[in-house]
Structure 1
Amino acid sequence: MDRLNQSRGQNHAQSRGQSRGQSRSQSRGLVSSSFLQSLDVIGTQVFAQWPNFTVEEEYRIRFDPKSNLSSNTFPARLFFPKRSSLQYDNGSAHRIKRMLTRFPISDASYLVASIFTLGAAIFVANGFFLLLPIIAPQLTFNGEAMYAVPITSVVGTLLFNLGGYAGWLEGLNWKRGGTPNITDAVTITVTDVSNAGRKLPDVEEAKETGSISDTDSIHGILVPQRANIPMVTTKAIADEMMASPTATWEPALIGSEEFVWWPTMRQFRQTYRHDPVFWAGLVQWIGTIVFAIATVVAVPGVIDFSNQPLFFFADLLPATLGGVLFVVAGLFQLYAAQRKWYLPAFKSLTWHTALWNTIGSVGFTLAGGLLYISSTAATFQATLATFWGSSAFLIGGLIQWYSVMGNYP
């Protein structure tokens, strides 16, 4: 009897343990299934609009001015605002506000303006530190000649090199983004042969194949003929468009399909060798590289300044040559901004930018060249030229920055 009761008790305990284990496993299963269902619901709600494109496509869309996706978020509106091919006259206050609140880093013209402005401001500080011991010796401080002067010179030169490279990119892409607009309401479809994304016949190839009658080359640009427009009219309009400062080109933005980082030889022959904007960017970039040699050599401890031939050859020569290249680039900019080379375009902000850049370039040239005279008066004028030359570059950069923001309404 006792054994029977014990066996019954054991069976009851086993069945009760099994039932508890089953209930626990069932509860765990319910919890697990409910958790998975919750994840499915969350995934459906949150990831339903997950974009179906690669990182490269997202990068292209983010930079594409025609994409609507680039204006939805605050960072996109801040760094990738929509650029218009026409300038808006919203008032000076509006443009100044845009200068402080919009940073279109995909626009090479903006990069040139902003980087050169910052670099010129640092060079103004450098010129001030150079003038201080001459005009107010009592205000000099410890470490001025050893640290303040070389640091501002190196940082300013670095920014000028970045701005020079951006200027080279600007010259490559300043009329690759679309059809120009003319204020007299005459618009012509002009296709830049340098555009690698558009498959157009080479002028020389067209001559060889006899298909030149389908297109006509105007200033290195292929202009398709239209059946209802005589070729003489097309040429006249295109010549006026190329010479008119009122024609507004839309530059290609960094990251777009039309943007190029380096031209091919065919592109150079057919388009860029006739373009003063291209030559202005290229010469200015080379000038910043040459000028950087003088900046590095002028750092204390690099060379022996008591060795006059070495000082003249390694420091003053690249400084002067860099300034001369800046002047040449400024003259190219002035020529590109004018309808005729002998008629100043006083109403054009681009012309004023080029004018102040040229003045600043003359200052940088004198800052290096006058030191060859080795006199106290020449040294003072060379130091003064560094200051007013940097100030002129600062004014030119601010004008260009102000002008560029007119394309961002």
Structure 2
Amino acid sequence: MAENTRKGTNTTILINGQRGAAYIKVHKRRHIGYLGASRMMASSTSPVDDSTPSPSADASLGLTKPTTHLRIKHAPFKLMHPTYLEDDHTTAQGTQWHSRASRKHLYTVKLAKVHLDKPSTDAEKATTSEFKIRGELRLRTCHPHSLLKPRLAWDISFWVAVWFVCGSAAWIINGFLLFIPLLYESSSQGVQAAAWGFVGGTFFEVGAFLMFIESLNSGHEELYKKALRSILNEDGGTRKQERGKLRLFGLAPFRDIGFLGSTIQLCSASIFWISTLTGLPGVIPGFPGTSSVAITDVFYWTPQVIGGTGFTIASVLFSLECQKAWWKPNPSSLGWHVGFWNLLGSVGFTLCGAFGYGSVGNSWMNYQSILSTFWGSWAFMIGSLCQLWESIWREANT
């Protein structure tokens, strides 16, 4: 639906589509405004009426609905998109937007005014294109009165956490089956341990793929791209908007730290899964006792080292996403703990492969390799439980 109201040289356009409501002011072909990123059908909309002022309306934009005013407060790196926006009309306890909380759907969608014009910091300059953007968005913001309650939502964020919890549990069983025989000199349970390792690696692969889909459909890229160029014709009219569909494959801006971390996590899980497959009995002839050292190193230990290193990088990115400064940890954030504990688990899995290169004929290296898997799996479990707890506490729909 598009409705035009002519007032002199100004044209006010209201678009109501599947991806949300967009309020646009066009003045002499100069685009001001922004497309809503909520990807939701507005339940009811009304044409923008410039003659009906609102206390918080921006007269220069023709926006008449009460809004909060958000400005960039932090970007983890100079070339990365901001992860933290804050209301610059109130104190530090005012309305906030966090990229992770938005991606995880922890808060309900609200109307907010985003300012990306007049860049003053390096982070703002890095995310502002040649034309300055200022306009209203529907974002998942946290208001001072926002209250999180236990609310089980069967969405993708919940299932991401569930798959990682199940995968961590499988790896703990794998660790017990390998580590306990070393302590009590009992018979090895290598076959059962390999089976549980394959199950854990498969669960991690599914969880990483769901995490990728979650970040791919977050809608955050609409916060940074050029305003509404794709839906405006040269004559000031509008084109038909595409329906917002769930994307299973595709790309989003790699400057979005959430999407970058999720992509690295998926690639790492896929590489790591190779080692769980080659660790099954019969895949590598004679493994683990009489197999070729070269074949074992290439197809079993190396995927663990590469995959574990990728897990480490992804965990660091997820921790940085929740910090106000790259050098300052944020233990008050549950999302930060998810990244921190997964970082410890990633280091453990990486060390497992690293020690594994020299484990043949070296009891100490073999002991350290198995021990690294054991404590690394417990660290992954703590991080996964934090993620599950995070997905349960959400703001109630109003």
What TM-score, normalized by structure 2, do the two folds share?
Answer: 0.56
Distance (whole Å) between structure 1 residues aligned to residue 157 and residue 333 of structure 2: 16
Equivalent AA in structure 2 for residue 133 of structure 1: P
**C-alpha contact (below 8 Å) 1:176/1:258 kept by paired residues:** no
**C-alpha contact (below 8 Å) 1:89/1:406 kept by paired residues:** no
Superposed, 1:115-154 pairs within 5 Å as: 115-138=163-186, 140=187, 144-146=189-191, 148-154=192-198
Distance (whole Å) between structure 2 residues aligned to residue 281 and residue 328 of structure 1: 10
For residues 190-238 of structure 1, the C-alpha deviation after alignment (integer angstroms, 9 at most, x for no partner) is 74649xxxx92169x99xx9x9xxxxxxxxxxxxxxxxxxxxxxxxxxx
Q: 1:346 aligns with which of 331, 339, 354?
A: 331
Aligned to 2:343: 358
Distance (whole Å) between structure 1 residues aligned to residue 342 and residue 218 of structure 2: 19
Choose 109-118 or 321-330, whichever is displaced more. 109-118
Distance (whole Å) between structure 1 residues aligned to residue 217 and residue 330 of structure 2: 23
**Runs of 5+ consecutive residues of structure 1 not aligned to the other structure:** 1-56, 58-63, 69-80, 178-189, 212-255
Distance (whole Å) between structure 2 residues aligned to residue 395 and residue 89 of structure 1: 25
Aligned to 1:296: 277
407 and 67 in structure 1: CA distance in 2 versus 1, 3 angstrom threshold? farther
Equivalent AA in structure 2 for residue 201 of structure 1: R
Structure whose alpha-carbon radius of gyration is higher: 1
Aligned to 1:382: 369
Offset of residue 373 of structure 1: 2.3
For residues 139-164 of structure 1, the C-alpha deviation after alignment (integer angstroms, 9 at most, x for no partner) is x58xx322x21221111111100001
**SS class of match (1:301):** coil
Equivalent AA in structure 2 for residue 347 of structure 1: S
Are 1:110 and 2:97 an aligned pair?
A: no
Are 1:167 and 2:211 an aligned pair?
A: yes
Offset of residue 173 of structure 1: 2.6
Aligned to 2:258: 277
Q: 1:261 aligns with which of 243, 248, 259?
A: 248
Bigger share in helix:
1
Distance (whole Å) between structure 1 residues aligned to residue 343 and residue 334 of structure 2: 14
Distance (whole Å) between structure 1 residues aligned to residue 230 and residue 348 of structure 2: 43
For residues 298-331 of structure 1, the C-alpha deviation after alignment (integer angstroms, 9 at most, x for no partner) is 1111113321111111111111111011001111
**SS class of match (1:274):** coil
Distance (whole Å) between structure 1 residues aligned to residue 293 and residue 180 of structure 2: 25
118 and 312 in structure 1: CA distance in 2 versus 1, 3 angstrom threshold? same
Aligned to 2:94: none
For residues 47-85 of structure 1, the C-alpha deviation after alignment (integer angstroms, 9 at most, x for no partner) is xxxxxxxxxx9xxxxxx98799xxxxxxxxxxxx99734
Are 1:328 and 2:313 an aligned pair?
A: yes
For residues 369-399 of structure 1, the C-alpha deviation after alignment (integer angstroms, 9 at most, x for no partner) is 1111232111111101111111111100110
**C-alpha contact (below 8 Å) 2:348/2:376 kept by paired residues:** yes
What TM-score, normalized by structure 1, do the two folds share?
Answer: 0.55
**Runs of 5+ consecutive residues of structure 2 not aligned to the other structure:** 1-17, 19-38, 44-104, 109-139, 237-242
Are 1:404 and 2:391 an aligned pair?
A: yes
Equivalent AA in structure 1 for residue 181 of structure 2: P
Distance (whole Å) between structure 2 residues aligned to residue 259 and residue 192 of structure 1: 20
1 or 2 for the larger relative contact order (CA 8 Å, sep ≥6)? Answer: 1
Distance (whole Å) between structure 2 residues aligned to residue 276 and residue 82 of structure 1: 18
**C-alpha contact (below 8 Å) 1:171/1:280 kept by paired residues:** no
Superposed, 1:7-156 pairs within 5 Å as: 84=108, 85=140, 89=147, 95=150, 98=151, 102=152, 104-105=153-154, 107-138=155-186, 140=187, 144-146=189-191, 148-156=192-200
- Identical residues among aligned pairs (%): 27
Equivalent AA in structure 2 for residue 110 of structure 1: F
Distance (whole Å) between structure 1 residues aligned to residue 316 and residue 216 of structure 2: 18
Bigger share in strand:
2
Offset of residue 262 of structure 1: 3.1
Offset of residue 110 of structure 1: 1.5
173 and 339 in structure 1: CA distance in 2 versus 1, 3 angstrom threshold? farther
For residues 14-46 of structure 1, the C-alpha deviation after alignment (integer angstroms, 9 at most, x for no partner) is xxxxxxxxxxxxxxxxxxxxxxxxxxxxxxxxx
**C-alpha contact (below 8 Å) 1:65/1:82 kept by paired residues:** no
Are 1:201 and 2:229 an aligned pair?
A: yes
Equivalent AA in structure 1 for residue 346 of structure 2: S
Offset of residue 263 of structure 1: 3.4
Distance (whole Å) between structure 2 residues aligned to residue 285 and residue 261 of structure 1: 13
**SS class of match (1:373):** coil
Equivalent AA in structure 2 for residue 114 of structure 1: V
Distance (whole Å) between structure 2 residues aligned to residue 273 and residue 114 of structure 1: 26
Equivalent AA in structure 2 for residue 280 of structure 1: G
Off by >3 Å, runs of 4+ in structure 1:
64-68, 81-90, 174-177, 190-194
318 and 191 in structure 1: CA distance in 2 versus 1, 3 angstrom threshold? closer
Distance (whole Å) between structure 1 residues aligned to residue 299 and residue 255 of structure 2: 34
**C-alpha contact (below 8 Å) 1:176/1:259 kept by paired residues:** no
408 and 152 in structure 1: CA distance in 2 versus 1, 3 angstrom threshold? farther
**C-alpha contact (below 8 Å) 1:323/1:362 kept by paired residues:** yes
The Cα RMSD (Å) is 3.3
Offset of residue 295 of structure 1: 0.8
Equivalent AA in structure 2 for residue 381 of structure 1: Q
Superposed, 1:205-284 pairs within 5 Å as: 257=244, 259-263=246-250, 268=252, 272-284=253-265
Offset of residue 408 of structure 1: 5.5
**SS class of match (1:363):** helix
Offset of residue 276 of structure 1: 1.1
